[in-house]
Structure 1
Amino acid sequence: MGDQTDLQKTGSVQQEENLLDDPLQALKEESGTGQDDVHERRIAWWREARLGLFIHWGPYSLPAGEWNGEEIEASYSEHLMLRARIPVQAYEEMAEQFNPTSFDAGRWVRTAKQAGLKYIIFTAKHHDGFAMYDSKVSDYSIVRHTPFGRDPLRELEDACREEGLVLGIYYSHAMDWHDPDSQGNTWDYPGNIGAYDDVESWIRDEDKRSRFDHYLHRKSLPQVRELLTEYGKVGLMWFDCGGKLTREQGELFLTTVHALQQDCLVNSRVWKSPLGDYANTSDNQLETRTIRQDWENIITLNDSWGYKKSDNNWKSPVSIIRQIVDVVSKNGNLVINVGPTGTGEWDPVSEQILLEVGDWLRVNGDGIYGAGASPTAKPSWGRCTLKGQTLYLHVFEPPADGYLVVPGLLSQVKRIYPLAGGEDLEYQWLGSSDLVVRLVAGELEAKDGKPVVLAVECSGLVNGNAVRLLMNGDGASHVYDLGVFESEITGTALRYDTGKKNRDNLLDWAYLQDYASWKVRVAGPCTFAVSLEYGCGDEGGGSFRLEAPGQTILSEVQSTGGPYEFRSVELGELHFAEAGEYTLELHADRIAGTYLMQPRKLSLRPLHSSN
Structure 2
Amino acid sequence: MRSLYTTILALGLLLSEQQVHAQAHNVSAGYQKPVDPLVIENLESWQDMKFGLFMHWGTYSQWGIVESWSLCPEDEGWTQRKAEHGKTYYEYVKNYENLQTTFNPTAFNPKKWADAAKAAGMKYVVFTTKHHDGFAMFDTQESDYKITSSKTPFSKNPKADVTKEIFTTFRQEGFKIGAYFSKPDWHTEYYWWSYFPPKDRNVNYDPVKYPERWDQYKKFTFNQLNELTSKYGKVDILWLDGGWVRPFKTIDPTVEWQRTIKVEQDIDMDKIGAMARKNQPGIIVVDRTVPGEWENYVTPEQAIPEHPLDIPWESCITMGNSFSYVPNDAYKPTKTIVETLVKIISRGGNYLMNIAPGPTGDFDQAAYDRLAELSSWIKTNESAIYKTRTIAPYHDGDYYYTRSKDNKTINVFHLSEGTQYEQPNVFEFTVPEGFQAKEIKVLGYKGKVKWKQQQNKVTIQPIHGALQYATVIQLSTR
Q: 1:32 to 1:250 in 2, by over 3 A?
A: farther
Partners of 1:30 and 1:263 in 2: how far apart?
A: 18
Q: 1:189 to 1:379 in 2, by over 3 A?
A: farther
Partner of 1:339: 356
Partners of 1:350 and 1:399 in 2: how far apart?
A: 27
CA contact (8 A) 1:121 1:168 kept: yes
Partner of 2:327: 309
More helix by share: 2
Instruction: Give the Å deviation of 1:409.
Output: 4.2
Q: Kindly report the root-mean-square deviation, in angstroms, between the aligned alpha carbons of the 2 structures.
A: 2.9
Partners of 1:166 and 1:17 in 2: how far apart?
A: 27
Partners of 1:396 and 1:17 in 2: how far apart?
A: 23
Give TM-score, length-normalised by structure 1: 0.63
Q: 1:25 to 1:279 in 2, by over 3 A?
A: closer
Partner of 2:253: none
Q: 1:48 to 1:391 in 2, by over 3 A?
A: same
Partners of 2:125 and 2:8 in 1: how far apart?
A: 28
**Alignment pair present for 1:148 and 2:141:** no
Partners of 2:440 and 2:9 in 1: how far apart?
A: 46
Partner of 1:585: none
CA deviations on 1:253-299 (whole Å, 9 max, x unpaired) are 33332222122111241734664221111x21145443442111100
| AA partner of residue 320 (structure 2) | N
Q: 1:16 to 1:63 in 2, by over 3 A?
A: farther
1:181-260 aligned at under 5 Å gives the runs 181-182=190-191, 190=196, 192=198, 194-195=200-201, 205-207=208-210, 211-217=213-219, 219-246=220-247, 249-260=268-279
CA contact (8 A) 1:279 1:292 kept: no
CA deviations on 1:496-547 (whole Å, 9 max, x unpaired) are xxxxxxxxxxxxxxxxxxxxxxxxxxxxxxxxxxxxxxxxxxxxxxxxxxxx
Alignment equivalent of 2:284, drawn from 265, 268, 289? 265
| Counterpart secondary structure, 2:438 | strand
Instruction: Give the Å deviation of 1:180.
Output: 2.0
Instruction: Give the Å deviation of 1:168.
Output: 1.3
| AA partner of residue 174 (structure 2) | G
Instruction: Give the Å deviation of 1:359.
Output: 2.1
Partners of 2:207 and 2:190 in 1: how far apart?
A: 16
Partner of 1:516: none
CA contact (8 A) 1:284 1:299 kept: yes
1:22-37 aligned at under 5 Å gives the runs 24=25, 27-34=28-35, 36-37=36-37
Partners of 1:421 and 1:214 in 2: how far apart?
A: 62
Alignment equivalent of 1:81, drawn from 71, 74, 82? 71
Alignment equivalent of 1:160, drawn from 165, 170, 173? 170
More strand by share: 1
CA deviations on 1:129-162 (whole Å, 9 max, x unpaired) are 0010111121211011301111111111221232
Alignment equivalent of 2:118, drawn from 97, 113, 122? 113
Instruction: Give the Å deviation of 1:458.
Output: 2.0
Q: Give the number of equivalent residue pairs.
A: 419
Q: 1:40 to 1:177 in 2, by over 3 A?
A: same
Alignment equivalent of 1:436, drawn from 458, 463, 474? 458
| AA partner of residue 395 (structure 2) | K
1:296-445 aligned at under 5 Å gives the runs 296-309=314-327, 312-387=329-404, 388=406, 389-397=408-416, 400-430=424-454, 432=455, 434-443=456-465
CA contact (8 A) 2:308 2:346 kept: no
Q: 1:57 to 1:204 in 2, by over 3 A?
A: closer
| AA partner of residue 90 (structure 1) | N
| AA partner of residue 89 (structure 1) | K
**Alignment pair present for 1:41 and 2:41:** yes
Partner of 1:602: none
Partner of 1:56: 56
User: Where do 5+ consecutive residues of structure 2 fail to align?
Assistant: 11-21, 73-78, 82-88, 251-265, 417-421
Partners of 2:319 and 2:94 in 1: how far apart?
A: 32
Partners of 1:119 and 1:455 in 2: how far apart?
A: 26
Q: Which has the larger radius of gyration?
A: 1
Partners of 2:201 and 2:9 in 1: how far apart?
A: 10
| AA partner of residue 186 (structure 2) | W
| Counterpart secondary structure, 1:233 | coil
| Counterpart secondary structure, 2:269 | helix
Identical-residue share of aligned pairs (%): 25
Partners of 1:39 and 1:367 in 2: how far apart?
A: 25
Q: 1:425 to 1:213 in 2, by over 3 A?
A: farther
Instruction: Give the Å deviation of 1:113.
Output: 0.9
| Counterpart secondary structure, 1:322 | helix
| Counterpart secondary structure, 1:238 | strand
Q: 1:132 to 1:30 in 2, by over 3 A?
A: closer
User: Where do 5+ consecutive residues of structure 1 fail to align?
Assistant: 1-11, 66-75, 460-611
1:450-489 aligned at under 5 Å gives the runs 450-458=469-477
| Counterpart secondary structure, 1:206 | coil
CA contact (8 A) 1:405 1:437 kept: yes
Give TM-score, length-normalised by structure 2: 0.80
| AA partner of residue 436 (structure 1) | V
